[in-house]
Amino acid sequence: MDGESTFLIAKRKKNNGYIYSSTFSISMIDEYPIKLIAEFFNLPYSVRINKLNKKQVYYLFVSSKKAEYIAETMVEFLRVKKAQAECLLEYRNLRKDKKKYLITKNYKVLHAKYGGDRMIPNKIPSSEYYELCEKIRQKCKLLKS
């Protein structure tokens, strides 16, 4: 698992900004190790055909909390990917503290059937939060290469 897997922080464009997510993936031509990992973590895996050599490749991909769970469980046993797993856990800890980084952008009006209308704050993550996410993503990206 140490050589064929990767822990990373993905960055995707959404609306006017970006969203970050943690992912774990592993692929091999041998089904047994993938099946073992999938059964241990109670996860599904898939089979794809390699375009170059036409061989079957067994593939396991998870994101967010499942990737965090795999990283937490496996980090002490890893050698090569240990730093990547720790980087993913650092990002997940930042996500857990996300409420600290929320700022009020504007207010939405909530029309109540009974009683008066209420103003609900529309909170978004601050630029500091996105800077920290990007810093962790870049660190993880360097570890991958």
Any idea what the CATH number is for the domain that residue 57 is in? 3.10.28.10
143 assigned to some structural domain: no
Residues 60, 34 contacting (CB under 8 angstroms): yes
Taking only the tens place, the pLDDT of each residue in 82-133 is 999 999 999 999 999 999 999 998 888 888 888 788 888 988 889 999 999 9
Query: With 70 as the cut, is the pLDDT of residue 2 above it?
Result: no
**Phi and psi angles of residue 132, each rounded to the nearest 5 degrees, phi first:** -65, -40
Domain count, the chain: 2
Its pTM stands at 0.83
Do 91 and 105 share a domain, yes or no? no
Say which DSSP state 98 is in: G
Do 14 and 40 share a domain, yes or no? yes
139 assigned to some structural domain: no
Range of the domain at 11: 1-95
> Rounded to whole angstroms, how far apart are CA atoms 92 and 21?
9
37 assigned to some structural domain: yes
Q: With H, G, I as helix, E, B as strand and everything else as coil, classify residue 104.
A: strand
Do 71 and 119 share a domain, yes or no? no
Do 106 and 91 share a domain, yes or no? no
> Rounded to whole angstroms, how far apart are CA atoms 34 and 112?
52
How confident is the model at residue 61, as a pLDDT?
Answer: 95
Q: Which of 51, 73, 95 is the last residue of a domain?
A: 95
Taking only the tens place, the pLDDT of each residue in 27-42 is 999 999 999 999 999 9
